[in-house]
């Protein structure tokens, strides 16, 4: 009874909205100026807040599509996304001469029916692959003829994929957006979003047992999706509307979705701007991890020798200058390697590379060696991108020496446990 009441209210609300929006409109087909095609990507999976079909963006676009004889697709998000609904919202020309009140009622009824489908979308397979769902939506939109004046994807869910090419279980939240874009390009995994606008509703909004993202991590997740959409030729628009349901939802019967481990600290790429200090006495440029990536300090393959010693020295020099001015700061240098195997060879190599940077700081640039600690972690560092292989952007990102203030909780934990 509660669901029937909700659907009845939804129809009434949509009908009222449609009459208000189009009260002065002319139903003459010759006056039509738009014919929108919209794909709704719906994630009602475990670990993600449920989709709220009363979101203005969902209802407004549905009303627009039904009133202007557009097209609607509804795609289910799970580990193997699928097309749930494909609705041509056009009607025979003979019926378009009906009264505008009748046309509005019919449009509101169609929109209400579409919302029922959205509310009924249920995942069938474990995990969540948002990128595959967006790719399916894009191919569905591209299948339409050129009479459609706009193509839009409205993606509803946390965006925290746990399978497919963009799998955040691989520690992708620790990566720069451009690294992920490059990785997807290398694997030819970017969808074709040319001419498509992608809206995201409920980004980073998760439910237990998934740990909540920090504001910084939420912003990075948004930046990652923005970079992916734009690199695919689309326009990205984030919407702050958060899915909220007044009904108790039981997720025990839903297919399982893996929990994404949320790193406590994500390294930022070294830049001299990092060394600019605030006036706070306890402020430290290395309170958060700062990575010297392969593009900045490159080593000879499988060795701890710099490929370009002069360039490496000049990259590291500003760090030594900073340490000379801030004598209370001590650093932990963490060496990391590509691949996913942390054996004795990887540990030795990563340790030797961290030691090489220490040698530059101390022997070449005059920093007291008691202030510099080193640790080789191979591919086991908390920010390591899994499944990045040994070639390409992710592998290059993993080959790094990361600098952390030695008195931070993270640095102390790493030194005590390794």
pLDDT digits (tens, 9 = 90+) for 24-77: 444 444 445 799 999 999 999 999 988 888 899 999 999 999 999 999 999 999
Report the pLDDT value the prediction gives residue 31, as an integer from 0 to 100: 47
Mean pLDDT by 10 residues, the chain (418 residues): 44 50 45 84 92 91 94 98 96 79 89 93 96 98 96 96 94 87 94 97 91 89 97 91 56 86 74 66 80 93 95 96 94 94 93 98 97 96 87 88 94 90
The pLDDT of residue 29: 43
What does the alpha-carbon distance between residue 257 and residue 27 come to, in Å, rounded to a whole number?
47
Residues of the chain with CATH 3.40.50: 2-239
Output the pLDDT for position 279: 45
Q: What is the pLDDT of residue 8?
A: 43
User: With the C-alpha atoms ordered 246, 252, 256, 259, is the resulting torsion angle positive or negative?
Assistant: positive
β-strands 400-405, 82-88: how paired?
unpaired
Sequence ranges of the chain with CATH classification 3.30.1330.60? 268-417
CATH topology of domain 268-417: 60s Ribosomal Protein L30; Chain: A; (3.30.1330)
Q: Per-residue pLDDT tens for 243-287?
A: 545 455 666 788 999 999 887 666 777 877 778 754 445 578 899
| pTM of the shown model | 0.79
Which DSSP symbol is given to 130? H
Q: Quick check: 199 and 155 in contact, CB under 8 A?
A: yes
Q: Please state the length of the chain.
A: 418
Per DSSP, 300 falls in state: P
Asked if residues 368 and 362 have their Cβ atoms less than 8 Å apart, the reply is yes
Question: Which of 261, 259, 262 shows the shortest CA–CA distance to 208?
Answer: 259
Query: What DSSP string runs through 69-91?
Result: T-EEEEEE-SSS-EEEEEEE---
For 117-137, the pLDDT digits (tens) are 999 999 999 999 999 999 999
3-state secondary structure of 148: coil
- The CA-atom distances, in angstroms, between 364 and each of 202, 327, 359, 372, 395 are 51, 17, 7, 14, 29
Under CATH, which architecture does the 2-239 domain have?
3-Layer(aba) Sandwich (3.40)
Confidence at residue 193, expressed as pLDDT on a 0 to 100 scale: 98
Q: Which residues pair with 374 in a beta bridge?
A: 333
């Amino acid at each position: 009874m509660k669901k029937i009441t909700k659907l009845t209210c939804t129809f009434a609300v949509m009908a009222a909205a449609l009459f208000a929006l189009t009260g002065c409109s002319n139903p003459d087909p010759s006056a039509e100026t738009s014919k929108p095609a919209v794909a709704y990507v719906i994630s009602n999976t475990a670990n993600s807040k449920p989709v709220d079909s009363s979101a203005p963006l969902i209802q407004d676009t549905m009303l627009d599509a039904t009133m202007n004889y557009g097209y609607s697709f509804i795609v289910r998000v799970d580990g193997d996304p699928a097309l749930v609904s494909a609705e041509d919202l056009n009607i025979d020309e003979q019926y378009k001469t009906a009264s505008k009140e009748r046309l509005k009622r019919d449009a509101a009824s169609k929109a209400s029916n579409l919302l029922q489908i959205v509310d009924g979308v249920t995942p069938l397979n474990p995990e969540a692959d948002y990128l595959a769902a967006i790719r399916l939506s894009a191919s569905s939109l591209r299948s339409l003829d050129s009479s459609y004046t706009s193509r839009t994807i409205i993606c509803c869910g946390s965006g925290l994929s746990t399978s497919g090419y963009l799998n955040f279980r691989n520690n992708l939240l620790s990566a720069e957006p451009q690294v992920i874009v490059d990785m997807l390009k290398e694997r030819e995994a970017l969808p074709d979003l040319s001419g498509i606008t992608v809206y995201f509703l409920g980004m980073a909004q998760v439910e237990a047992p998934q740990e909540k993202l920090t504001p910084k991590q939420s912003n990075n997740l948004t930046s990652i999706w923005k970079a992916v959409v734009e690199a695919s030729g689309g326009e990205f628009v984030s919407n702050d509307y958060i899915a909220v349901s007044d009904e108790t939802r039981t997720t025990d019967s839903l297919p399982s979705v893996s929990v994404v481990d949320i790193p406590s600290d994500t390294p930022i790429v070294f830049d001299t701007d990092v060394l600019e200090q605030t006036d706070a006495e306890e402020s430290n440029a290395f309170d958060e991890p700062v990575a010297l990536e392969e593009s900045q300090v490159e080593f000879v393959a499988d060795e701890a020798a710099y490929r370009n010693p002069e360039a490496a020295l000049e990259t590291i020099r500003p760090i030594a200058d900073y340490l000379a001015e801030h004598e209370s700061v001590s650093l932990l240098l963490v060496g990391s390697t590509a691949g996913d195997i942390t054996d004795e060879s990887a540990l030795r190599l990563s340790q030797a590379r961290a030691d090489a940077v220490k040698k530059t700081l101390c022997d070449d640039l005059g920093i007291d060696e008691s202030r510099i600690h080193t640790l080789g972690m191979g591919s086991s560092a908390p920010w390591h991108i899994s499944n990045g292989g040994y070639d390409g952007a992710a592998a290059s990102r993993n080959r790094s020496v990361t600098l952390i203030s030695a008195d931070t909780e993270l640095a102390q934990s790493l030194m005590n446990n390794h």
